[in-house]
Amino acid sequence: MADRLAIAFSDEQAMLLETAAAFCAEKSPIMQVRALLDSDIGFDMSVWNAMAQLGWLGITVPEEYGGSGLGMAEVVTIVESMGRQLMATPLISTTLVIQALMNCASKDQKNTWLPRLSDGSAIATLALTEDHGDWDLSNISCRVRKESGRLQLSGEKTFVTDAGVADVILVSALLDDSPALVLLDKHSIADGAITPEVVIDETRRSFRLNLDGISVPDSCLLEANRTRECLTLLEFASCLLLSAEMAGGTAAVMNLTLEYLNTREQFGRLIGSYQALKHPMVEILCGLESTRSLLYHAASIFSVSREAEIAIRMAKAQAGQSFTYAGDRAIQFHGGFGFTFDCDAQLYLRRASWCHYQFGDAQYHRTLLATLMLG
């Protein structure tokens, strides 16, 4: 019989999972989530500082730059716990920029940003999405040109999460008709270039970024010969962390619904005793278990490779489908109350809708999987 790949937590992952679960439950109860819906930045800066003190921001950063030198699998354990509590912080966006810097940045760029990002004194985010909505990150309309030792940018980006608090934004643009990545320090962005967007997930803060007129030194350009590989890495890492967030969200909304089914009575019986409600709950549990299995397999082999791509796309497709279904059933099972703002189930469905469509929905990834697996 062929050897089977065992998926098990390392000591570091087990410790992180336990710590993250307790931390997120304490710092992000549902009342705190609701209180932050109307805040300007969407998260508690004291919680961000506490996460930095725990070393979470530098998990994937090499030790020479002040990090822990671990991998994306360790970040997944934290993001899953954040997803359970609907915790919204710039950890994901900052981690993704760190991945790009580690793989595509010059020595000077790494020395400038990695220590600051790993200790939480700086926040980073990505600006990769444009109005055409193509999930292919190499389909870029924004432009950058070299002129007298500087880079002149033009165009507009959308869905730039946490741009309002970011100290550096990693932007994709075309340089001589080839993809390029540029680091924008917040001081290079003019007032009014960043405008808020209204998105379905009210726990998020998303912005449009107008690049017209922005000029930065050409030292802000990442290594051009590695841009395509870096874009692939960013897509894979984004899908992995979104899958982790959705796995946590699925578990939370399942427990929320189960508690309601075991509390609400109708016609003299708990509504959870009816088969019509039992069966969908079993489907939600099966979806969750499938998601977590695919997620941790993908996390254990994360890289820019065909094998990892298959695992990541399978995890993203399953996670999006499972979380969306669980959120939808939670709304329905809460009856009329489920369609009101006061019902917490709607917060999870909003989160599911956002995560599902970021970097490709289930149909998109399964279409790519058909080619990858079946040729």
Domain boundaries, the chain: 11-122, 125-224, 228-374
Per-residue pLDDT of the chain (375 residues; tens, 9 = 90+): 344 555 556 777 778 888 999 999 999 999 999 999 999 999 999 999 999 999 999 999 999 999 999 999 999 999 999 999 999 999 999 999 999 999 999 999 999 999 999 999 999 999 999 999 999 999 999 999 999 889 999 999 999 999 999 999 999 999 999 999 999 999 999 999 999 999 999 999 999 999 999 999 999 999 888 899 999 999 999 999 999 999 999 999 999 999 999 998 788 888 888 889 999 999 999 999 999 999 999 999 999 999 999 999 999 999 999 999 999 999 999 998 999 999 999 999 999 999 999 999 999 999 999 999 987
DSSP type of residue 124: E
Closest Cα partner for 73 from 242, 299, 320, 375? 299
Cα–Cα distance, 281 to 272 (Å, whole number)? 9
Cα–Cα distance, 119 to 53 (Å, whole number)? 7
List phi, psi (to 5°) of 221.
-85, 130
Cα–Cα distance, 288 to 206 (Å, whole number)? 28
What's the confidence (pLDDT) of residue 8? 58
Q: Please tell me whether residue 66 adopts helix, strand or coil conformation.
A: coil
Q: State in words which class domain 11-122 has.
A: mainly alpha
For 143, counting Cβ atoms within 10 Å of its Cβ (0-12 exposed, 13-18 middle, 19+ buried), the class is middle
Cα–Cα distance, 218 to 215 (Å, whole number)? 9
Pick the CATH number of 125-224 from 3.40.50.2000, 3.40.50.980, 2.40.110.10, 3.40.50.10300: 2.40.110.10
Cα–Cα distance, 100 to 190 (Å, whole number)? 24
Q: Is the pTM of this model over 0.75?
A: yes
Cα–Cα distance, 283 to 328 (Å, whole number)? 13
Q: Please tell me whether residue 235 adopts helix, strand or coil conformation.
A: helix
- Strand 168-175 relative to strand 124-127, pairing: parallel
Cα–Cα distance, 235 to 237 (Å, whole number)? 6
What's the confidence (pLDDT) of residue 6? 54
Q: State pLDDT tens for residues 56-109.
A: 999 999 999 999 999 999 999 999 999 999 999 999 999 999 999 999 999 999
DSSP type of residue 260: H
Is there a contact between 298 and 315 (Cβ–Cβ < 8 Å)? yes
Q: State in words which class domain 228-374 has.
A: mainly alpha
